[in-house]
Structures are given as structure tokens and as C-alpha cells.
Amino acid sequence: MAKDNSFDIVSEVNMQEVDNAINQTVREIIQRYDFKNSKSEVSLQGEEIKMVSDDEYKLKSVIDVLQTKLINRKVSIKNLDYGKIEQASGGTVRQMIKIKQGIETDVAKKIIKDIKDSKIKVQAQITSEQIRVSGKSRDDLQSVIQLLKGKDYGLELQFTNYR
């Protein structure tokens, strides 16, 4: 019997790159003229980014700067889950942005359903926050990767452990 080939589907964010992007954002906010005398700040708190600014317009500008820095550092902004904008102390507004790590169960089930519906001869199973896809033919595995790259699940997928 031929040995099965496999790969893992994961969704991970490099937190060091997120931290670097936040530091660059803070530096740019300090230097920009349109943020002079504003109370805008960005900080990383575990798996969340806390953003505070004077008003919603400035908050959106800070988010735009942060997204630019994340894209430049090759961090997908698909993995950001924006909370609602709420009032904070001192007349400022605050927004929390959650960084999604791993594939949630309902998204994983949707991915597996799409793989099964494609009739490609592979098996897919959920293991913790990732999906293992295995099959006899490497061409079938490549077909699955191309199929999944063509769909949008609301987060960035990486394909690792290709054997």
C-alpha cells in the first residue's frame, strides 16, 4: 500500500510582527502633524489590540495607519476582529481589536464540507485548531490547496507540514 501524503491547514498570526507593526504605528502617530495634541494611543494586550483616540474620525485614521503597517509586515488583516467603538474616559473613544488565532470549529466544518463537496479523493479531519488533509496523490492535495485559496473564509489560511 502506498504511503499517504498530508498537509495541515492552519490560521496563525506572527505576534512578533504584530508587536512591531504596533510600535511603528505609535512612532508614526507621534510624528504626524494631524495627531498633534491628540490622545491617540495603540497597545497590545495579550491577543487584543487596544486603540484609544479623541474621536471616531481620528480612531479610523489610527486604524488605517495600523492596517498599513500590518500589511507591510505581511500580517493578514483578515485575522482582525473589530469590536464596537465605545466611549472612554476624558471624552475619548476606544476600540478593541481581537486577533484571531487558529480555525474555529464552525469555519473548520465549512472548510471540510467544501473539500468533501469537491469530490477530490482526500480525507480531512479537525485536530484542535487546525485541519489535517491526507490522501494518496500529491496532485489531489495540490487541488485541495488551490480550491481553498479560491474561497474566502474570513481568515488567512496557511498550508503547513506538506509531506
Sorted by where each begins, the domain ranges of the chain are 5-12+102-160, 15-99
Cell representation of residue 39: 490622545
pTM of the model: 0.83
The pLDDT mean for the chain works out to: 88
User: Does residue 91 contact residue 43 with C-beta atoms inside 8 Å?
Assistant: no
Q: pLDDT (tens digit, 9 = 90+) per residue, 60-101?
A: 999 999 999 999 999 989 999 999 999 888 888 999 999 998
Cell representation of residue 150: 479560491
CATH of 15-99, one of 3.30.70.990, 2.50.20.10, 3.20.20.140, 3.30.420.240: 3.30.70.990
Neighbouring C-beta atoms of residue 39, cutoff 10 Å = 15
5-12+102-160 and 15-99: same fold? yes
What's residue 97's pLDDT? 93
Across residues 120-137, what is the average pLDDT?
88
Q: How far is CA 85 from CA 7, 92, 95, in A?
A: 39, 10, 5
Across residues 42-52, what is the average pLDDT?
91
What's residue 63's pLDDT? 93
CATH of 5-12+102-160, one of 1.50.10.20, 3.30.365.10, 3.30.70.860, 3.50.30.30: 3.30.70.860
